[in-house]
Each structure stands twice: as C-alpha cells, then as structure tokens.
A = this chain, B = another copy of it.
Amino acid sequence: MSDPTTLPRTLSFVCKALGDDVDDRRAPCRQAVLATVGDGGAARMVILRAFTPWTVEVHSDLAAAKVAQLRAEPRATLLFWLPEAQMQIRLRARFTVLAGAEVADRWTAIPDGPRRAYGGTPPPGTPLLTPDDHTYTPNRDRFAVLSGIIDSIETLHLGDIHRRAIFRRDDGFTGGWIAP
C-alpha cells in the first residue's frame, strides 16, 4: 500500500483499509467507533459490515440506544484508528435505519451464533439483578441495518509530518489538505 502522501493515494488508502474490494476479507479496519449525538455525545464500538464508495453499513439490535439516537439525529461519525499506519479515519455520514423485509437478505447471511446479538430478553439497558438474568433470543424483528451515506472522509496521518486531509461529497471527494 503506497504511502498516503498525496490526496489520491490517501483516498485510495482509505478505500483499501475499509475493504472496498468485497473479495478481500483481510480488510484491516472492521472495528470502529460510532459517535452519535445522543444525550450529550455518545459512542460505542461497532463492526463495519459494508463499505462502498460512498456508503457504509453497521448492524444493530433495533432496541439499542444508537437506533433511537440516529432516528432523532441521522448525522453521526464513524471513527477508525489504524495503529500500524498511524492513521485516523473519520467518516461523517447520514444514517437510515432499515429493518424487516428490506434487510431480509442480510439476516439470511448471518450464522446462528452471531444472530444472538439481535434480540435478547430483556432489551438492552434494562436493569438486571445479575448478568445471568439476560437470555439470548435471536429475533429477526430486532435486526436493524444502519445504512449510511458518507458526506465526508477526514484523514489524519501521523508520519514524519502530520498530514490531514478532507474529502467531501460536495467536491466529488477530490479532497484537500487542512492544517492538523
């Protein structure tokens, strides 16, 4: 992977890191932080399930707080940190919550084990006397896809000097440098 020292190389680096090649299962960057407005700034770890230029997908339990937060304010940030590359990638996107029939194909593709993440009784955030008072009840009606349209991609590369760039939908993602 070429050094991200030019704008086109930087954008190409991002696309490779986030796995734009669907045949490449080795995408280094599956784990991200999803930051929503919430009640004050809110954040949690998520898994990036799909990336194309210029969309993203994350899966969620429909009963999770992030779903309600994105319905109230669809704009959010997906943040990635690549320690080896010393690169921070920040995607700003507008999210739509998809569920039911429109995500039946994604549900079908999920193995039984991971389906435990969608459903669960009682729902997320309910007080429990002990952790064992929660049972996994996989439920396709509780499966949601957070589908995001990317508005901007910001990179910060901590190299010999710090290089910070921003690529915006408004400029066709041609990008420009900004002060770090």
On A, residues with C-beta under 8 Å from B are 5, 31, 33-45, 73-77, 79, 81, 88, 90, 92, 120, 122-134, 161-164, 176-180
In the complex, which of the residues B37, B127, B131, B177 contacts A127, with contact meaning CB atoms closer than 8 Å? B177
**Complex Cα–Cα for A74 and B39 (A):** 11
- Residues of chain B within 8 A (CB-CB) of A90 are 43-44
Tell me if B43 and A128 are in contact (CB < 8 A): no
**Complex Cα–Cα for A131 and B155 (A):** 12
- Residues of chain B within 8 A (CB-CB) of A43 are 33, 35, 41, 43, 77, 79, 90
The smallest C-beta distance from A150 to any residue of chain B, in angstroms, reads: 13
Which residue of chain B has its CB nearest to the CB of A160?
A: B131
The smallest C-beta distance from A149 to any residue of chain B, in angstroms, reads: 13
Q: Pick 11 A–B contacts, CB within 8 A, sort by A.
A: A37-B37, A38-B77, A41-B76, A43-B43, A44-B88, A123-B179, A124-B179, A125-B179, A127-B177, A128-B176, A131-B161
Which residue of chain B has its CB nearest to the CB of A43?
A: B35
Tell me if B45 and A35 are in contact (CB < 8 A): no
Tell me if A130 and B33 are in contact (CB < 8 A): no
**Complex Cα–Cα for A41 and B36 (A):** 4
- Residues of chain B within 8 A (CB-CB) of A161 are 131-132, 134
In the complex, which of the residues B31, B42, B178, B179 contacts A41, with contact meaning CB atoms closer than 8 Å? B42
The smallest C-beta distance from A78 to any residue of chain B, in angstroms, reads: 8
- Residues of chain B within 8 A (CB-CB) of A73 are 40-41
- Residues of chain B within 8 A (CB-CB) of A125 are 178-179
The smallest C-beta distance from A114 to any residue of chain B, in angstroms, reads: 12
Residue from the set A76, A164, A177 with the largest chain B CB neighbour count within 10 Å: A177
**Complex Cα–Cα for A128 and B7 (A):** 12
